[in-house]
């Protein structure tokens, strides 16, 4: 079945370390997105990519980095510059070729700084 796989489901990071969250999709979707979810804050856009080898900053990109070397993959790195990285991270994808194309979400990664 087609879908989005996020891994790991839970991730623990020591302060000062970089960590990378994986997002893989086999839906042949063009666009991919990373959202951060905090209690009472809804979902906020970190980065998005509409095509391979191109990506744009979202509303809260500071302290994060991404790459889009393959259509299927859009990993998110949480760097040591991110001051408060503990949150729930959601990856999503969408086909750009159809205007009405809906979003598919992964099941998320819970990142905790210890």
Partner 1 sequence: AQTVTQSQPEMSVQEAETVTLSCTYDTSESDYYLFWYKQPPSRQMILVIRQEAYKQQNATENRFSVNFQKAAKSFSLKISDSQLGDAAMYFCAYRMHTGANSKLTFGKGITLSVRP
Instruction: Out of 11, 21, 23, 48, name the contact with partner 1 by CB under 8 A.
Output: 48
Query: Which residue, 27 or 43, is less far from partner 1 as judged by CB?
Result: 43
Is residue 72 within 8 A of residue 61, CB to CB? The reply is no
Q: Which is nearer to partner 1, 18 or 59 (CB)?
A: 59
Q: Which stretch binds partner 1 (CB under 8 A): 11-19, 20-28, 72-80, 87-95?
A: 87-95
Say whether residue 50 binds partner 1 (CB under 8 A).
yes
8 A C-beta contact, residue 37 and residue 91: no
Q: Is 45 in the site for partner 1 (CB under 8 A)?
A: yes
- Give the binding-site size for partner 1 (rule: CB under 8 A): 24
Decide whether 17 or 59 has the Cβ nearer to partner 1. 59
- Is residue 92 close enough to count as binding partner 1 by CB under 8 A? yes
């Amino acid at each position: 079945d087609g879908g989005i796989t996020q891994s790991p489901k839970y991730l623990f990071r020591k302060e000062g370390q970089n960590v990378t969250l994986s997002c893989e999709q086999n839906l042949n979707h063009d666009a991919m997105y990373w959202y951060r979810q905090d209690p009472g804050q809804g979902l906020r856009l970190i980065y998005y990519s509409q095509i391979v080898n191109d990506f744009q900053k979202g509303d809260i990109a500071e302290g994060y980095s991404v790459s889009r070397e393959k259509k299927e993959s859009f990993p998110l790195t949480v760097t040591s510059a991110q001051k408060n990285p503990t949150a729930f991270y959601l990856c999503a994808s969408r086909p750009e070729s159809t205007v009405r194309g809906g979003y598919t979400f992964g099941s998320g990664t819970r990142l905790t700084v210890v």
